[in-house]
Amino acid sequence: MKSRLALIIAVSIVLLGIPVYAQHGHGGGGGASMGTHGHSMNSHSTSSSSAHSEGKQSSVSERFSDNTKLAGKLQSLLPAGTNLQQASQGFKNLGQFVAAVHVSHNLGIPFDQLKAKMTGPSAESLGKAIEQLKPAANAKAEAKKANKQADQDMDDSKSTS
């Protein structure tokens, strides 16, 4: 019985990750963005299956109340008065949101403009959004850098929370 449950959980994790990998197989982020998104999905999938049944959206914003260190870090990178729960709405997962915050901060792109490109019905990858909003930037390198920063932030916040 336990091995059957473990198999079901493992299959669920794999199936939940497929749309994320398929979504980001194109664009400026490439392999680095898949690592961030896969990392964030896998690190929380087994602990909160109810968040997935309620939708990915609630799981992204709910994580800030559980992780004050990460919330503080992100708050310091966004304009004063920004509500993290509102800012994270529309992003597919926590890794995508954290990387977008870093790109906004690193390149001086207004976060609301970056969010508008990356969320909604015609959502684009982080790399494509960078290309459009900051054409002079090396979109692929900047997306890779932001994804590494996001991974580091999430790893750092797990070790102390």
Per-residue confidence at 125, pLDDT binned at 50, 70, 90? very high
- The Cα 136–Cα 123 span in angstroms is 21
For residue 35, pLDDT beyond 50: no
Helix axes 126-133, 139-160, angle to 10 degrees: 130
- What pLDDT does residue 158 have? 81
- The Cα 140–Cα 126 span in angstroms is 9
The top-scoring range by mean pLDDT among 3-17, 68-82, 133-147 is 133-147
Give me the percent of the chain exceeding a pLDDT of 90. 50
DSSP 105-137: HHHT--HHHHHHHHSSTT---HHHHHHHH-TTS
- What pLDDT does residue 87 have? 94
Measure Cα distances from 78 to 32, 84, 157 in Å: 23, 9, 18
In sequence order, what are the residues at sequence separation of 6 or more whose Cβ sits closer than 8 angstroms to the Cβ of residue 155?
none
Q: Are 44 and 70 in contact (CB under 8 A)?
A: no
- What pLDDT does residue 66 have? 76
